[in-house]
Chains A and B, each alone.
Chain A
Amino acid sequence: MCLAIPGKILNSEVHNGIRVGRVRFGGITRETCLDFVPEALVGDYVIVHVGFAISRVDREEAERSYALLESMGLLKGELESDLEDS
């Protein structure tokens, strides 16, 4: 759970005063809070930790660190959820 995973912002909207968006990590997407990264726009890459984007990074950085996490087998389980349906 301590990992932060880079992903791409697919959309962004405001729900109950909080900015959320779908973020894609490899083959799966997760709803992500974007309130901590007001500078990040749709199409940008962000580092996401437990469903919250904590910083914006460039695409190359995002792809490289995603590949690294995947190669270490650390992604399986990290995005696991009994409740999320996508």
Chain B
Amino acid sequence: MKYLDEYRDEKIARGIVAELSRRATRPWVLMEICGGQTHTLMRYGIDEMLPAGIELVHGPGCPVCVTSLETIDKATEIASRPDVTLISYGDMLRVPGSHTDLFHVKAWGGDVRVVYSPTEALKFARANPGRKVVFFAVGFETTAPANAMAVWQAKREGLKNFSILASHVLVPPAIRALLSSPRNRVQGFIGPGHVCTVMGYREYEDLIRDFHVPIVVGGFEPLDLLEAILMLVTQLEEGRAAVENQYVRSVTYEGNLFAQKVLAEVFEVCDRKWRGIGGIPASGLSLREEYVEFDADRIFGTEGVTADEPAECISAEVLQGLKKPTDCPAFGTRCTPENPLGAPMVSSEGACAAYYQYRRHAIAAKGTH
């Protein structure tokens, strides 16, 4: 069976684009937050389909990309210990730290393993009581409840050899930081559909009140994104600013209360440094005092680790929507997914990786004329 009816979808897409052309009377700059959405936009060339003047910039919504250099350094340091098994989501392994990455630590004999779920890390800890098992807990609000559940279970079972290196980040404070910047160009946001599946969209109302900027929670299919863009442009042209929900198939106002409950039980809001952006107040999650026995940062004494970011990588500007990946002189030459200078080229959801996957041939062809 063919699930993607490309003919039908293309017809609807053209209809939405025609409607956009009718409604847009001036240029608008819109940002999608989520890396999954960036991929759809690139894969289907939606940015190139839009009427001239409607510009899409790509936001900081790839957790792999915004995990600070310090945190990567902490992970490689902990993973290098002979008594530790460090367990991670796969896309963290090639993210460059100051000196090395987890992939190299593994190649040099470190016990680094890839899982798709924190519950597998928990199982491994139960089965290997002689190992200190550290789970590298990165991710946005979508991922945090899963990681929280693993910690909650570990505490309930009295598991002594399990801990997490927590580097969770939150979307609304990042939007607030972008909007507060004097360099901000973004006039409307496509909200992240899966983050909002968990958190709902009520917390975005504060942003509307403080910045009068429209936010439309969007899904991940090409038509979802086109519809979200149309809803944003409609609000902008009418001078309105509200949170609207395009992705009603998965997102409700309240979100998933079960997931929110375990998240609040285990984590509390903290200040967090974002790679490429810097410190953002109240933009992360860390373990509550009742769960500090599971804090790898404290157990292994890595709290003091600091790092400086490399100068050549322009990921700071890319993650803030100030530059496109292709504005970078290193793009596709000194920086590729195999040899990344910065995190957005590593993760499958990173903006640079998306441009590399879908646009590098077109860019190379342009360069020869």
Residues in chain A within 8 A of chain B (CB atoms): 1-4, 16, 18, 30-33, 35-38, 47, 49-52, 54-55, 57-58, 61, 63-68, 71-72, 74, 77-84
Contacts and interface: CB of A to CB of B under 8 A. Distances in A.
25 contacts: A2-B35, A4-B142, A18-B149, A35-B149, A35-B262, A36-B258, A37-B256, A50-B89, A50-B118, A50-B147, A51-B117, A51-B120, A52-B259, A54-B259, A55-B250, A55-B256, A67-B2, A68-B220, A72-B39, A72-B43, A77-B90, A82-B115, A83-B115, A83-B124, A84-B120
Contacts of A38: 258
A2 B89 CA distance: 10
B40 A77 contact: no
Interface string B239-260: 0000000000110000010110
Interface of B: 1-4, 34-36, 39-40, 43, 61-64, 87, 89-92, 113-121, 123-124, 138-140, 142-143, 145-147, 149, 153, 157, 194, 197-198, 220-221, 249-250, 256, 258-259, 262, 348-349
Contact of B114 (A63, A72, A80): A80
A3 to B, nearest CB: 6
A71 B4 contact: yes
A64 B4 contact: yes
A49 B85 CA distance: 23
Contacts, number: 140
Contacts of A36: 145, 256, 258-259
